[in-house]
Structure 1
Amino acid sequence: MANPAIVTVDDDPAVSRAVARDVRRRYGQEYRVVRASSGGEALDALKEIKLRGEQVAVLLADYRMPQMNGIQFLEAAMDLFPLARRVLLTAYADTEAAIDAINLVDVDHYLLKPWHPPEEKLYPVLDSLIEAWRATPASPETDTRVVGHRWSAESFEIRDFLARNMVPYRWYLSDEPEGRRLLAAAGSTESEIPLVITPDGKSLVRPSEAELATHVGLTTTPAADFYDLAVVGAGPGGLGAAVYGASEGLRTVLVERRATGGQAGQSSRIENYLGFPDGVSGAQLTDRARRQAQRFGAEILTTQDVTCLDVRGSARVLTCAGGPQIAAHTVILATGVSYRLLAVPGLAELTGRGVYYGSAATEAPACAGADVYIVGGANSAGQAAVYFSRYAQRVHLVVRGESLVQSMSAYLIDQIEAIGRIQVHTCTEVVAGHGQEHLEGLTLRDRHSGQTREVDASWLFVFIGAEPHTGWLDGMVERDRQGFVVTGPDLVIGGKRPAGWRLDRDPYHLETSIAGVFAAGDVRANSVKRVASAVGEGAMAVTLVHRYLESQ
């Protein structure tokens, strides 16, 4: 992080050099002196400093400058750096104007030219102003900054992407002072949000996830031409496979279309995972697994959506939507599942504007004091209800079934019953959503009586069902009616191996209908839908990968 700046502005080159020289002599070790020859040039410099997240301690501007005088410049500079101390340089004849500036524009001090000797006339003034600035400095911005609208679906997508990829960021509403200052510094308007400002000061207007990933330091393109193992999907199963594959010496690449963690990464609290007696959030577990895989040498690619799998001799080739192809001896499919859409009138157009799929933990603080509705009766919904109860005035858990016993772990049911803020509505379903700019209300229906009722609601989180990400495998590997990948013994029917199988052996336990291509975790047919099971299958698949490679 660069030192705070002291900015000097004067259109007279001799005066400009002199003031910069004197300031640098006294303060150059701790402050960066920025010299400009006009108000416009100085404002451009301030905008650049603002975008880089750096600070300005003092502004010194000459009163008599063409086009934009010193008072006009200092007034404009206040919009970017309101805490910076402001000094007006004036001639004796302009003393009255300087006094007016102090009263009207909140200038902190005025200095008469010439200010020699600086030890008597310049430094004491700057010393006191810098001391005052140090007492109330703004914190330097080292994180990515996002400026957006509260109910903007695009803004939510960007924040969710950064959060799930463990990229630190700060969120500013576009109608708040700092949000307006950042928009002004970037030369953008409210019609051009969301605006993302990277730590190096680059501003991105409505960036795609791939563009955003590139600018915040995520890897998006493969570094090698060929790998021993390519893992598709960075949920628990994929991360488990990457850790074990890389730790056992396989050249391993993990390809993820959005963010590591999958559904588990969105879980607010996992309390039944082995080795974490106090529980662990999905984000924490995901971050540890990701760092562990990278420590062993696994390469992790984000924002790469795999759309095709080809067999080319001994190679298995993955083609991504963005164009890159990834070739490997073996592939593990760990694409997991996603929450099924709640197909009722009025919700689709409000997705990201009050309607969310998964926990969307980034929204929790904004729910403070409000009623939150959660749809679902499995563990993920229960974990979300417990988490949101820390913020919301009341959490309403909407469940289609008669009770939670059939679908939720006992420990979660006990927690929910002990939290007074959580109300469980069994035999109830959401049949409609209402709202213009954002969700404003829901229609609930009692499944027994058929009666409906309207409730005010600005927040709805949906955790229903699971759909596998396997459409891109159509015609390549065998899947069941729901789209889950069939593996191992289930492929051998009546003693017959799958069509196109050329090896003189049955498929290994987690092997698909293509030799050398395996499936692990929730995407696999008849798998146990638990985090620990997915991790275990990822590790087991690597063992079978070794067996396959040894037989080639």
Structure 2
Amino acid sequence: MARPAIITVDDDAPVSAAIARDLRARYGAEHRILRASSGAESLELMARLLLRGQPLALVAADQRMPGMTGTELLARVRADVPDAKLLLLTAYADTEVAISAINDIGLDHYLLKPWDPPEERLYPVVDDLLSDWHNAHPEQTNDVRVVGHRWSEASHLVKTFLANNHVPYVWLDIERDEEGARLRDLAGADAADLPLVLVPDGETLRAPTTVAVASALGLRTRAERDLYDVCIVGGGPAGLAAAVYAASEGLSTVVVEHDAPGGQAGQSAAIENYLGFPRGLSGADLAQRAIAQARRFGAEMVLARDVVALEARGPVRAVRLDGADDIEARSVVLATGVSYRRLAAPGLDELSGRGVHYGSNAGQAAACAGDDVYVVGAANSAGQAVLNLARFAGHVTLVVRGESLATSMSQYLVERIRADARIRVLCSTEVVGARGDGHLEHLTLVDRHTGATTEVKADWLFVYIGASPRTDWLGADVVRDEHGFVVTGHDLLGGRRGKDWPLPRPPFALETSLPGVFAAGDVRSDSMKRVASAVGEGSMSVYFVHRYLATI
């Protein structure tokens, strides 16, 4: 791939030279740094790049320019190169304009002038923007290729695993892509062998498990040590926060995740109310940043392994894995989060993975291009999914059991959904049936007021209802409430549960009924069920891990 371009735009010649100099010093080896003195000149530069098929990574424009303001220019760039990163250089007096541009044109960041010293004020911002751009534009030569069928559940699972672990891949449908059919024939593969996973410099994988895919890609599927200070079960926001704080404070730390770090939040196309990110960020971006932090401090990640039991072995806690050696640790943090509840309607189970999906990742939207898509749910996760799917789908319908969205969804999402002509909302409605020949083709809806049923054409159904905790594997030593969520802290001592605590000392906050085992995030009884609170509880759990370790 040609070196990606960075265009700087400023009508003040000394300022233009200064920012070009600073960017060239840091990024010139891997990027082309191009200067323009006006919006019109920068658009000409951009046009030449596009005609030559050369990538544009970033445009940094001053706000106050004659003829065309920075925001007007960046709006043109967003329309012509939607994936380019946009940086507005502005004075304090134009802050309101910059904030409006975040909503109006999708501005990625604004930077107050002057930016000296660049090591503190310019480079960290540009580093983040270029990192995001490069993650979204990996070179194709070393991509994993997945060959399969569009409506195959096994193909869907492999693609989801790769996407959630930020592994670039090329999807080749044997019915739509000649190259996919050619590769299938070259491999001598039949339907039982699909999907094929073609790893550069590796063996062809036929209908592989996620463990086999992870191993082929060099992802760690087994722990390295015999004993850890803390084992964190679950790699969502709570688990990753716990890993960052534990590892940074010198505790030997391992995270076990059955799928990929990020959890449900990692599948979100946009988290727009997370503190410190005025434009919002994707769940995948948040997860990737947290993973990098945790690994930087020395935390291990064990992927694609299911945890099947938790045992107390004297002062040690043992986490038992399916298909791998047990992990022993002096303390454990349960951060397994929740999964979406299954929708009970005839025909849905048979079509699971064949058009019917529970949750989705942001990249799945492109597969729905031009199709009829239905989403069930009324919480923020459903709202974010609907907005993301509407960018590609022919029609998107949100099905809601309640009377309105406002009772369960954040207002900013409700307003955006109402303003989007591509989205229809059906309140007081339920999905009561599904049918299709090999994949979803029709849904049956019922009006909860009248009882009238309607059959509609549907290619995809994404379900975002309720929350079921992943606690079936915990033994009787870990007390759960009537819904399966883990009970912690003072709730173990009295009140509604009676006494479920075995020691003379009171339990630490977040500590479960098994001393030395803590719960954080959505899996904990009475937790807030928000990304920010999960991060807070994951961080806080490490404080109590330290206090517990001091007692043994």
TM-score by length of 2: 0.73
Hey, what's the Cα distance between the residues in 2 that align with 1:152 and 1:355?
11
Instruction: Look up the equivalent residue of 1:340 and give its one-letter code.
Output: R
SS of residue paired to 2:331: strand
1:310: how far off?
A: 1.0
Inter-partner Cα distance in structure 2 for 1:371 and 1:183: 29
Which one-letter code corresponds to 1:290 in the other structure?
I
Alpha carbons of structure 1 residues 140 and 284: separation in structure 2 relative to 1, 3 Å: closer
1:174-211: per-residue Cα shift (whole Å, max 9, x none)? 23221123223333244521101112142010001111
Q: Give the letter aligned to residue 534 of structure 1.
A: A
What pairs with 1:32-43 in structure 2 (closer than 5 Å)? none
Contact 1:268 1:359 in 2 (8 A): no
Contact 1:498–1:513 (8 Å) recurs in 2: no
User: What does residue 286 of structure 2 align with?
Assistant: 285
1:170 has 2:170 as partner: yes
Separation in structure 2 between the aligned mates of residue 215 and residue 235 of structure 1, nearest angstrom: 24
C-alpha distance 428-290 of structure 1, shift in aligned 2 (>3 A): same
Correspondences of 1:100-111 after superposition (within 5 Å): none
Letter in 2 for 1:258: D
In the other structure, the counterpart of 2:188 is: 187
Provide structure 1 residue ranges, at least 5 long, that are not aligned to the other structure: 2-138
Which residue identity lines up with residue 268 of structure 1 in the other structure? Answer: A
Give the corresponding residue for 2:220: 219
1:230 aligns to 2:231 (yes or no): yes
Compare 355-364 and 307-316 and name the one that shifted more. 355-364
Rounded to whole Å, the distance in 1 between the matches of 2:367 and 2:388 is 13
For 1:394 and 1:302, locate their aligned partners in 2 and report how far apart those are by CA, in whole Å: 36
- Post-superposition shift, 1:371? 1.9
Higher Rg: 1
> What is the percent sequence identity of the aligned residues?
57
Residue in 1 that maps onto 2:369 = 368
Contact preservation (8 Å) 2:492, 2:500: no
Contact residue 497 and residue 506 of structure 1 kept, 8 A = no
Distance 1:498 1:195 in 2: 53
Q: Given the alignment of the two structures, is residue 538 of structure 1 paired with residue 538 of structure 2, yes or no?
A: yes
Query: Whole-Å Cα distance in 2 between the matches of residues 494 and 355 of structure 1?
Result: 42
Matched letter for residue 186 of structure 2: A
> Residue 333 of structure 1 aligns with which residue?
334
Which residue matches 1:49? none
The answer to whether the 8 Å contact 1:433/1:441 transfers is yes
In the TM superposition, what are the counterparts of 1:100-499 in structure 2 within 5 Å?
A: 141-175=141-175, 176-493=177-494, 498-499=499-500
What is the rounded CA distance, in whole Å, between the counterparts of 2:216 and 2:352 in structure 1? 26
Amino acid at match of 2:375: I
C-alpha distance 184-511 of structure 1, shift in aligned 2 (>3 A): same
Structure 2 residues without counterparts, runs of 5 or longer = 2-138
Give me the whole-angstrom Cα distance separating, in 2, the residues matched to 1:357 and 1:436. Answer: 20
Q: State how far apart, in whole Å, the 1-side matches of 2:140 and 2:230 are.
A: 42
Cα distance in 2 for residues equivalent to 1:332 and 1:244: 12
Distance 1:171 1:312, change over 3 A: same
1:216, distance to aligned residue in structure 2 (A): 1.1
Letter matched to residue 404 of structure 1: L
- The offset of 1:476, in angstroms, is 2.1
1:66-105 Cα offsets, whole Å, 9 max, x none, are: xxxxxxxxxxxxxxxxxxxxxxxxxxxxxxxxxxxxxxxx
Letter in 2 for 1:548: Y
Partner amino acid, structure 1, of 2:534: A
Give the equivalent residue in structure 2 for 1:508. Answer: 508
1:214-266 deviation per Cα after TM superposition (whole angstroms, max 9, x unaligned): 00121000010000000000011101100110011100000011111111111
CA distance in 2, matches of 1:496, 1:192: 51
d(CA) in 2 for partners of 1:224 and 1:248?
Answer: 18
Please name the residue that 1:523 is paired with: 523
1:174–1:190 CA contact under 8 A, matched in 2:
no
Alpha-carbon offset, residue 292 of structure 1: 1.0
- Could you tell me how far 1:313 is from its partner in structure 2? 1.4
AA matched with 1:160: T
Q: 1: CA distance between counterparts of 2:474 and 2:497?
A: 22
Partner of 1:11 in structure 2?
Answer: none
Secondary structure of 2:403's aligned partner = coil
Q: In structure 1, what is the Cα distance between the partners aligned to 2:328 and 2:202? A: 36
Residue 33 of structure 2: aligned partner: none
Equivalent residue for 1:5?
none
* Matches of 1:346 and 1:238, distance apart in 2: 35
Matched-pair contact (CA < 8 Å) for 2:317–2:330 = yes
Query: SS of the residue aligned with 2:261?
Result: coil
**C-alpha spacing 1:548/1:183, structure 2 compared with 1 (3 Å):** same
Q: CA deviation at 1:396?
A: 0.4
Amino acid at match of 1:371: D
In structure 2, the CA distance between the partners of 1:316 and 1:446, relative to structure 1 (3 Å rule), is same
Q: Are the structure 2 counterparts of residues 251 and 427 from structure 1 closer, same or farther at C-alpha, using a change threshold of 3 Å? A: same
- Distance of aligned partners of 1:362 and 1:437 in 2 relative to their CA distance in 1, 3 Å threshold: farther
Please give the alpha-carbon distance, in whole angstroms, between the structure 2 residues aligned to 1:463 and 1:499: 33
Q: CA deviation at 1:497?
A: 7.9
Aligned AA for 1:550?
A
Contact 2:429–2:447 under 8 Å retained in 1: yes
> C-alpha separation between the residues in 2 aligned to 1:499 and 1:347?
40
Residue 471 of structure 1 aligns to a residue whose secondary structure is coil
State the 1:393 CA deviation.
1.9
Matched letter for residue 471 of structure 1: D
Q: Secondary structure of 1:322's match?
A: coil
SS at match of 2:397: strand
Secondary structure at the aligned position of 1:412 is classed as helix
- Cα distance, 1:140 vs. partner? 6.4
Paired residue type of 1:540: M
Whether the 8 Å contact between 2:489 and 2:508 is mirrored in structure 1 is: yes
Aligned equivalents of 1:467, 1:197: Cα separation in 2: 35
Q: Identify which range, 446-455 or 307-316, moves more after superposition.
A: 307-316
